[in-house]
A = this chain, B = another copy of it.
């Protein structure tokens, strides 16, 4: 039996300890299951999510206030994500197999021994689920899929925003694991802040992933670092996702940009990690006017926020920005209406701490700049971001400098497109410099995220029949191997 929380009982320390102990005991046998079995589990979870789509979506609508189309798309993405990780496991490229054959004349000055290196699972992983994606970043979400794919047992700390859905999804994961003969303890679910901290600080846990607020995430990061044995903490703590509109683009495409912006700000009630929270436009361009016109004539419905805690947090940060002496209300702000605030680049540059805040809801700050130099200064001042977007014209030399500035601050740089809507692919990078993430070299979306839960080990002069199959000369599993510095398969 898998270890999961029972909603009806408070989760005490002993229960949590048992869940961690089960994960620790499962680490070896789960890692030892072959790639076909691990891929089978991932597909089994996806199949079960599909089979129970109707009831899961109904539950999610009840607990999160998100719309049916939104949740339907998210559930499809979640199943796809699990299947993409099944492909990743079977492909084997994530193992980063490197083989150096023995070389008596290696120019280092000493004979090179036979060295064979591959990635292995880190061990039991803790995943703090996010509230805003009850499927894709929650119990069976990206970090769970990546950790299971890597060969690590996973304990999910459920989001308090959707406890019943969390339990329902956990049950489906359990079933899929049981069916494939995975060891008991491969998956566990814990509920409650204290339980999360208890697992995070447990010696058996080897890595943790988190998506949420800067304050909460930093506190957990600090706990992870302060452990007697510190562990990698992959935290996604907050991002403003600046959008930079050049003078040329603002002149020629004001209405198009205004309309796209309002959709991006209001979709999923603005509760997306990649919602544009700052949009820089030229002071004298018609974008501002077009936006005002649009929102006056067609107020943007946004829907209810995820839960009371998020609504209260949103209200507080909006009040802080709105009350700033240099900020004016441009449009919106009524009940269920997207909110547009406005200020100047000069004001932002003078008071970054006062004006640069993630507003986790349907709001954005329009920032007017007077010239390209000010725009570039602003781009360089925004801090670490998940995304940065340039709306521009290809022939305009400003765009090259803006893209360079965007690369400096962000993990994903977009051209004439909106950062909401995150494709799950081989190349995707969802991460960025702090505070966007605590680990800028890693991603939480895309097949590369499996690397979070791996560490390399090299075998020196070990005979073939004592080596893992992936490292053998005949390459019986047909994994990608790099031999003496040259990729091969």
A468 nearest in chain B by CB position: B407
- Chain B residue at minimal CB-CB distance from A229: B434
A100 surroundings in chain B (CB, below 8 A): 423, 425-428
Nearest neighbor of A32 in chain B, beta-carbon distance: B404
Question: Closest CB of chain B to A199's CB: distance in Å?
Answer: 18
| A460-B108 contact in complex given A221-B230, A482-B426, C-beta closer than 8 Å | no
Q: Does A99 contact B (CB under 8 A)?
A: yes
Inter-chain contact B461/A423, CB cutoff 8 Å = no
- In the complex, the answer to whether B463 meets A112 with C-beta atoms within 8 Å is no
Copies in the complex: 2
* Interface size grouping (class) on chain A: 35 or more
Known: A73-B110, A110-B421, A440-B122. A414 touches B451 (CB 8 A): no
Contact between A487 and B487, CB atoms less than 8 A apart: yes
- Whether the pair A441, B456 counts as a contact (CB closer than 8 A) is yes
Please provide the chain A residues from 179 to 223 with a CB less than 8 Å away from any CB of chain B in the complex.
Answer: 221-222
Given contacts A225-B222, A413-B458, A485-B426, contact A466 B394 (CB under 8 A): yes
Query: Which of B110, B400, B424 contacts A108, CB < 8 Å?
Result: B424
Q: Which residues of chain B are near A43, meaning CB under 8 Å? A: none
1/0 contact trace for A442-486 toward B, CB 8 Å? Answer: 010001100100111111111101100000000000001010110
Other-chain residue from B107, B229, B410 in contact with A80 (beta carbon distance below 8 A): B107
> How far is it, in angstroms, between the C-alpha of A461 and the C-alpha of B425 when the chains are bound?
14
Contact of A372 with B by CB under 8 A: no
Which listed residue, B112, B415, B431, B434, touches A461 by the CB 8 Å rule?
B415
A29 → chain B closest CB, angstroms: 12
Task: Establish whether residues A429 and B117, one from each chain, have CB atoms under 8 Å apart when the complex forms.
Answer: yes
- Report yes or no: B466 in contact with A400, Cβ–Cβ below 8 A: yes
The distance from the CB of A266 to the nearest CB of chain B, in whole angstroms, is 18
A458 touches B407 (CB 8 A): no
Q: Contacts A100-B426, A230-B438, A427-B115 known; A411 to B457 CB distance under 8 Å?
A: yes
Distance in angstroms from A292 CB to nearest chain B CB is 28
Are B448 and A411 in contact (CB-based, < 8 A)?
no
Q: Chain B residues near A87 (CB, 8 Å)? A: 485
Q: Which residues of chain B have C-beta atoms less than 8 A from A98's C-beta? A: 426-427, 448
A169–B109 Cα distance when bound, in Å, is: 21
Interface residue A310 (Cβ < 8 Å from any Cβ of B): no
Picked from B73, B91, B463, the residue with its CB within 8 Å of the CB of A485 is B91
Question: Which 4 A-B residue pairings sit nearest by Cβ, starting from the closest?
Answer: A98-B427, A429-B458, A225-B225, A76-B109
Instruction: List 18 additional A-B contacts (Cβ < 8 Å) besides A80-B107, A112-B423.
Output: A106-B425, A110-B423, A116-B427, A120-B407, A221-B225, A221-B230, A225-B225, A229-B384, A399-B466, A400-B466, A414-B460, A417-B461, A426-B482, A426-B485, A429-B456, A431-B456, A433-B455, A441-B454
Interface residues of chain A, those whose CB is within 8 Å of chain B, are 73, 76-77, 80-81, 87, 91, 93, 96, 98-100, 106-110, 112-113, 115-117, 120, 122, 221-222, 225-226, 229-230, 232, 384, 394, 399-400, 403, 407, 410-417, 421, 423-429, 431, 433-435, 438-441, 443, 447-448, 451, 454-463, 465-466, 480, 482, 484-485, 487, 489
